[in-house]
Amino acid sequence: MTLISMASFLSAVSQGLLWSILAIGVYITYRVLDFADLTTEGSFPLGAAIAAQCIVNGGNPFTATMFSFIVGLIAGLITGILHTKLKIPGLLAGILVMTGLYSINLRVMGGKANLPLLKQTTIITSVVEFFSTETNTFSTANAVMLVGIVSVVVVIFLLWLMFSTEFGFALRATGDNPRMISALGVNTDIMIILGLMISNGLISLSGGLIAQYNGYADVGMGVGTIVIGLASVIIGEVLLGRRGMAWCLTSVVVGSILYRIIIAFVLANKLQPTDLKLFSSIVLVICLSLPAVKEWYRDFTNRRNHKTEVKEG
């Protein structure tokens, strides 16, 4: 068994930070809204395509990244309208938008399946240039780590503020008990639409950052992202539990980082990259089944203790 090097470990942490923004978006739909949204697999490459196209055409990388967030909002808006206004089931609405976004992503990328960012100014290269001096060069690895930390801190802080407001409580209540919150006069359709917009905005933002980290945008880079996001959410919850909102969001980030470290460890031990999707699914199945296994073990222990007490009595 081969342990990963420190460089691979730090790279996994950096990637985990960037991917955690997607995981936070998935958390909002999966845990807050209790909504199975497959728009993720279309909005993620949409953000990557928009950011890459803007950068290739000479746009500011920070502005391009913000455009990624905005187009994600629009994708979530469409899914929300299909579900709430046209009464299309949530799962099907997400699939329809995801399918439509595939063609849109190709159009955004000029009909190409892959759009490279070689020799282009990205957020990563901008940070490297800003912190580099004539004597010392700020490494790309440090730049990615810095961008990831700043992005995650800003996202968690803004979401914590949002969920501390009346709107945030209404959004959470919409997922927990829609009938109760409707009786209080809250329009649950609007809450669902806004929640989906925020979720897909973050997912698309993550796509824009990942594209700049990878150095390209690919039309197929969204395949399996919902599994990655769910795995990060579940791993974080299993390890850290569910408490306050800030704690839950932080646990998602921790789960994303651990997921990337696991992937790096597995790759270091000769697993074929083509098997990563299968491995991700297995990890998710294990994590999802842990609560049931714990409950079964608790019941088994209680029954055994009860039988022991009866015999002794």
3-class secondary-structure state, position 116: strand
Which tens digit of pLDDT belongs to each residue from 129-184?
999 888 888 889 999 999 999 999 999 999 999 999 999 999 999 998 888 998 88
Q: What single DSSP character describes residue 264?
A: H
Which tens digit of pLDDT belongs to each residue from 27-76?
999 999 999 899 999 999 999 999 999 999 999 999 999 999 999 999 99
User: Can you tell me the mean pLDDT for 112-122?
Assistant: 92
Count Cα neighbours of 294 within 13 Å in the Cβ-side half-sphere.
Answer: 8
3-class secondary-structure state, position 217: strand
CA atoms of 186 and 184, how far apart (whole Å): 6
Rg of the Cα atoms in the chain: 21
58: left (phi over 0), alpha (psi -120 to 50) or beta: left
CA atoms of 121 and 297, how far apart (whole Å): 54
* The pLDDT of residue 312: 66
CA atoms of 243 and 253, how far apart (whole Å): 15
3-class secondary-structure state, position 114: strand
Instruction: Yes or no: say if 208 and 122 are a contact pair by the CB < 8 Å rule.
Output: no
Which tens digit of pLDDT belongs to each residue from 172-205?
999 988 889 988 889 999 999 999 999 999 999 9
What's the whole-model pTM score? 0.91
CA atoms of 87 and 76, how far apart (whole Å): 15
